[in-house]
Amino acid sequence: MRTIDDLDVSGKRVFVRADLNVPLDGDRITDDGRIRASLPTITTLRERGARVVVAAHLGRPKGAPDPAYSLRPVAARLGELLGTEVAFATDTAGDSAREVTAALADGEVALIENLRFEPGETSKDDAERGEFADRLARLADLYVGDGFGAVHRRHASVYDLPQRLPHAVGGLVLAEVEVLRTLTGDPRRPYAVVLGGSKVSDKLGVIDNLLGTADRLLIGGGMVFTFLKAKGYEVGKSLLEEDQLDTVREYLQRAEKQGVEIVLPVDVVAAEAFSADAPHAPVDADAIPADRMGLDIGPKSRELFASRLADTATVFWNGPMGVFEMEPYSHGTRALAQALIDSGAFTVVGGGDSAAAVRSLGFAESAFGHISTGGGASLEYLEGKRLPGIEALAD
């Protein structure tokens, strides 16, 4: 893949597909990590005299403008971080976008409105996506793909647009791919993977692939209760995917045959309700009361997980260990993050809620080897899937 170093960008309008899909509370950005991750590529292009046209999506609007998903607050924060005004286009490829991008001078930056306000962005119809990509292409002379969190989507701005303009990969995507190639190629061992989050069904493919790659799998979060149930334990009112029990049993059997250690919690924090104020207490994983639900791994499990990470050389982590947004159930995720730091291993935090947890719990990003900006994209890469946004950037 060509990099931005291979492009002559001076005086050119460069379309940068970034990942600015940040969490919002009204107009307030609650975690600007993805915006900050986009800064190096945008700054490099500015310093080389490019006229930078930034584009991204936010949330899941229904293919039509929705004020709740406007990128206007993102434009303001991006400008603050860059130390310069960022012009904002109130549409994606219409009159405002054409006027704003045409008015850019060398080194200036504009952000166009949420790409998903256009049905053509996410359409499964090639012609509809192509028509939108044609309109976007008129806004720029060159294309840089730097939105790793979207490269697993066959969307107009990710897949179709780079086929219409001279293109290159941005620094963020390049760094992400290099890290993931390390994990799937020849990682230093022992290599452990920690998986959490709510649903085991979201991670079936990656578990299947990792059984041939990782030395250990540590399972937490809501998905663990399907594993515990598959082992014959009662899980009370905990999250459970009954239709995945046979698949999980098969994974447990395969792991044993292939010498892959699967580490499950030995205790969980069980609460009477999904609430920070509900009565809660640690219970053994094989003795969850029928009227309680597990919302975090317990203190003995935190020690167990730390011990199974202490000698590792490489760790990939995707998914919190509990409902970390509620303080009583944040301790498992906090302990896991600290265990990764203490291990001295090359640690990769696989985006999404894991990255948000690292920041919200007060950990320094520099304490980890790499914090990904794309949870879904990272998992699909580890699953062995082809990523359309990466294929479109290859020459």
pLDDT at 112 over 80: yes
Residue 355: its pLDDT value, please? Answer: 87
Domain that holds residue 263: 185-383
**How high is the pLDDT of residue 13?**
98
Using pLDDT thresholds of 50, 70 and 90, give the confidence band for residue 225. very high
In the residue annotation, 376 being an active-site residue is answered as: yes
Cα separation, 61 vs 68, in Å, equals 9
**Whether residue 82 is found in the same domain as residue 114:** yes
Asked if residue 180 is part of any domain, the answer here is no
Q: Are residues 231 and 125 in the same domain?
A: no
Which tokens is 18 given? Answer: 């970034």
238 pLDDT band, cuts 50/70/90, is very high
Number of domains in the chain: 2
Reported confidence tier of residue 375, pLDDT bands at 50, 70, 90: confident
Q: How far apart are CA 121 and CA 132, in angstroms?
A: 7
How would residue 221 be classed by pLDDT, with cut points 50, 70 and 90? Answer: very high
Do 101 and 241 share a structural domain? no
Residue 393 in any domain: the answer is no
CB 159 within 8 A of CB 392: yes
Q: Are residues 42 and 137 in the same domain?
A: yes
Question: For residues 246 and 239, what is the distance between their CA atoms, to the nearest angstrom?
Answer: 16
Q: Rounded to the nearest 5°, which phi and psi values hold at 288?
A: -75, 125
Asked which of 34-48, 151-165, 221-235, 349-363 is least confident by mean pLDDT, the reply is 349-363
pLDDT of amino acid 45: 98
Q: Mean pLDDT, to the nearest integer, of 260-271? A: 98
| Average confidence (pLDDT) over 50-76 | 96
Tell me, what CATH number does 208's domain have?
3.40.50.1260
User: What three-state secondary structure class fits 213?
Assistant: coil
Q: Is 138 a catalytic residue?
A: no
Contacting residues for 12 by C-beta, under 8 A, at least 6 apart: 50, 51, 140, 141, 142
pLDDT over 80 (residue 351): no
For residue 130, tell me if it sits in a domain. Answer: yes
The pLDDT of residue 178: 93
DSSP annotation of 370 reads E
d(CA 55, CA 147): 9
Cα–Cα dist 154/129, whole Å: 9
Domain contains 58: yes
Considering the domain architecture, whether residues 164 and 283 belong to the same structural domain is answered as no
Residue closest to 119 by CA, chosen among 161, 61, 71:
61
- Per-residue pLDDT at 61: 95
**CB 161 within 8 Å of CB 136:** yes
Task: Band the pLDDT of 330: cuts 50, 70, 90.
Answer: very high
For residue 389 the two structure tokens come to 């946004």
Mean pLDDT of the chain: 95
Give 140-192 pLDDT, tens digit per residue. 999 999 999 999 999 999 999 999 999 999 999 999 999 999 998 889 999 99
Q: Which pLDDT value is given to residue 369?
A: 94
Answer yes or no: 352 catalytic: yes
Instruction: Kindly state whether residue 22 falls inside one of the protein's structural domains.
Output: yes
Answer yes or no: do 168 and 200 share one domain: no
Residue ranges of the binding site: 19-21, 34, 57-60, 116, 153, 203, 294, 325, 351-354
Is it the case that residue 305 has pLDDT exceeding 80?
yes
Q: What are the backbone angles phi and psi of residue 370, rounded to the nearest 5°?
A: -160, 135
End-to-end CA distance of the chain: 6
Contact yes or no for 368/341 (Cβ under 8 A): yes
- Which pLDDT belongs to residue 54? 98
As beta bridge partners, residue 280 has 271
Mark whether 342 and 259 lie in a shared domain. yes
Q: Final residue of a domain: which of 175, 208, 238?
A: 175
Helix (H) or strand (E) holding 249: helix 245-258
CB 363 within 8 A of CB 341: yes
Please check whether residues 217 and 167 belong to one and the same domain.
no
- Which of 149, 175, 201 terminates a domain? The answer is 175
Instruction: Confirm whether 395 is domain-assigned.
Output: no
In the predicted model, is pLDDT for residue 200 greater than 90? no
Domain for residue 394, yes or no?
no
Query: What percentage of the chain has pLDDT greater than the value 70?
Result: 100
Last-in-domain residue among 175, 198, 221: 175
pLDDT of 352 above 80: no
Catalytic entry in 352, 374, 375, 389: 352
pLDDT the model gives residue 83: 97
Rg (CA), the chain: 22
The annotated binding site for substrate is made up of: 19-21, 34, 57-60, 116, 153
Q: Residue 235 and residue 256: Cα distance in Å, rounded? A: 23
128 and 251 co-located in one domain:
no
pLDDT at 164: 97
Q: Would 297 be classed as within a structural domain?
A: yes
112 with 231, same domain?
Answer: no
In this prediction, residue 289 carries a pLDDT of 97
- 130 and 249 housed in the same domain: no
Domain shared by 196 and 156, yes or no:
no
- Where is 263: in which H helix or E strand? strand 261-263
Is the overall model pTM greater than 0.85, yes or no? yes
Q: Which of 12, 34, 51, 229 is catalytic?
A: 34
Residue 121 clears pLDDT 80, i.e. is over it: yes
Provide the annotated binding site for ATP. 203, 294, 325, 351-354
**Percent of the chain that is helix, strand, coil (3-state, to 5):** 45, 15, 40
- What is the average pLDDT across 259-267? 97
